[in-house]
Structure 1
Amino acid sequence: MDEDRFWELIERSDRETRSRKERLAWLNTRLCQLSADEIIDYHMWWELNANRGYTCDMYALSCYLLRRESTDGFEYFIYWLMSLGREAYDQVADCPDRVMELPQVVHLLDLKRRWFAERRRGLPWSDEEYPGFELLAYVALDAYEQVTGENVDILYAALKARGVRSRFPLLAAEFGEQDWDIADDAEVARRLPRLARYLTSPN
Structure 2
Amino acid sequence: MEAHLIYTSRFSNKFWKISVAKTSFAIIYGRIGTDGTVRVKDFSSPEACKKEAHRLIQSKLKKGYRPHVTAQHEIKESSMTEAHFWQLIDDCKSHGDDALEHVEWLVSRLSEKSVTDIISFDSFLNEHYFKSYTSDLWAAAYIAKGGCSDDGFDYFRAWMLYLGKDAYYEAIADPQSLLPYLKGLKKQEEMPQLEELLSVASDAYEKKTGNDFDDYIKLYDQLMQEDYSVPDIDLDWDEDDEESLRKMFPELWEAFGENPLGT
Matches within 5 A, 1:136-147: 136-147=197-208
2:185 is the alignment partner of 1:108: yes
Tell me the alpha carbon deviations over residues 11-56 of structure 1, each in whole angstroms, 9 at most, x when there is no partner. 1101222123321221111111111111111001111111121011
- Aligned mates of 1:83, 1:58 — CA distance in 2: 15
Q: TM-score, normalised by structure 2?
A: 0.60
- Aligned mates of 1:51, 1:200 — CA distance in 2: 26
- Aligned mates of 1:32, 1:73 — CA distance in 2: 28
> RMSD of the alignment, in Å?
2.5
Give, as a single letter, the amino acid of the residue that structure 1 aligns with 2:183. Answer: V
SS in 2 for 1:136: helix
Which residue of structure 1 aligns with residue 112 of structure 2?
33
- Aligned mates of 1:136, 1:199 — CA distance in 2: 25
Give, as a single letter, the amino acid of the residue that structure 1 aligns with 2:218. Answer: I
Do the aligned partners of 1:47 and 1:164 also contact (CA within 8 Å) in 2? no
- Aligned mates of 1:2, 1:166 — CA distance in 2: 23
Which residue of structure 2 aligns with residue 61 of structure 1?
140
How many residue pairs get aligned? The number is 177
- Aligned mates of 1:31, 1:11 — CA distance in 2: 14
Higher RCO, 1 or 2 (CA under 8 Å, sep at least 6)? 1
| Rg (Cα) greater in structure | 2
Do the aligned partners of 2:143 and 2:253 also contact (CA within 8 Å) in 1? no
- Bigger share in strand: 2
- Aligned mates of 1:201, 1:19 — CA distance in 2: 28
Matches within 5 A, 1:33-182: 33-100=112-179, 103-109=180-186, 111=187, 125=189, 129-150=190-211, 151-158=215-222, 161=225, 163-167=226-230, 174-176=232-234, 178-182=235-239
Instruction: Give the 3 Å change call, closer, same or farther, for CA 193–80 of structure 1 in structure 2.
Output: same
- Aligned mates of 1:78, 1:200 — CA distance in 2: 20
Q: TM-score, normalised by structure 1?
A: 0.76
Can you give the 5+ residue segments of structure 1 that lack an aligned partner in the other structure? 112-123
Give, as a single letter, the amino acid of the residue that structure 2 aligns with 1:78. Answer: R
- 1:75 Cα offset (Å): 0.7
2:122 is the alignment partner of 1:14: no
Instruction: Give the 3 Å change call, closer, same or farther, for CA 189–22 of structure 1 in structure 2.
Output: closer
Instruction: Give the 3 Å change call, closer, same or farther, for CA 22–73 of structure 1 in structure 2.
Output: same
- Aligned mates of 1:144, 1:200 — CA distance in 2: 41
Q: Which moved more, 1:191-200 or 1:66-75?
A: 191-200
- Aligned mates of 2:105, 2:118 — CA distance in 1: 15
Aligned sequence identity (%): 31
Give, as a single letter, the amino acid of the residue that structure 2 aligns with 1:89. Answer: Y
Do the aligned partners of 1:47 and 1:166 also contact (CA within 8 Å) in 2? no
- Aligned mates of 1:60, 1:48 — CA distance in 2: 21
- Bigger share in helix: 1
SS in 2 for 1:61: helix
